[in-house]
Homo-oligomer: A and B are copies of this chain.
């Protein structure tokens, strides 16, 4: 495109780096910004810098926070810890309102193929928490993928000698799903873990 002006081209390339944003979407975003009023554009730019500068990892759980210790770690039950792979998993879990415990973010999952070993994710920090806060139960809430399962099993094995109860989130058919389209592994687990009514 011969006529694209340099500041707009620059902004398009910045937007293109966002996850799942292609050039066409980036062009629409850039034109939206150019059409914004000046205060809105400045407030947008400022919020990017503030999010980057004020937000860091919680000293206990590893989730993003703008305080030293995140609010969940300040208020939640430190004896019940739910282990997840990434901060965004916590967003999903927080919709479940009756969980009163705290979280632990691994910042990754074991993946020997990609060279991610136990020292590359926050397993040591989890072990430290268990002795420091006298943790009673660890819920492994990693995704039911190969890496998620492997990480859950690895950590469970590691915690066994420490006399901590380690549980795994249940697997089964999701609410509203059509049995016809549920994969066989999920269906087999759903039958295996059946509950009496």
Residues of A in contact with B (beta carbons under 8 Å apart): 1-8, 10-11, 14, 17-20, 25, 27-34, 36, 38, 41-55, 63-67, 70-72, 87-88, 90-91, 94-95
Contacts and interface: CB of A to CB of B under 8 A. Distances in A.
Given A1-B91, A7-B51, A7-B55, 8 more contacts: A5-B67, A8-B66, A11-B47, A19-B32, A20-B25, A31-B88, A41-B48, A45-B48
B55 A49 contact: no
* Copies of this protein in the complex: 2
Q: Which 10 A-B pairs have the closest CB atoms?
A: A41-B52, A45-B45, A11-B51, A45-B48, A7-B51, A11-B47, A7-B50, A7-B54, A5-B66, A10-B47
A183 B180 CA distance: 36
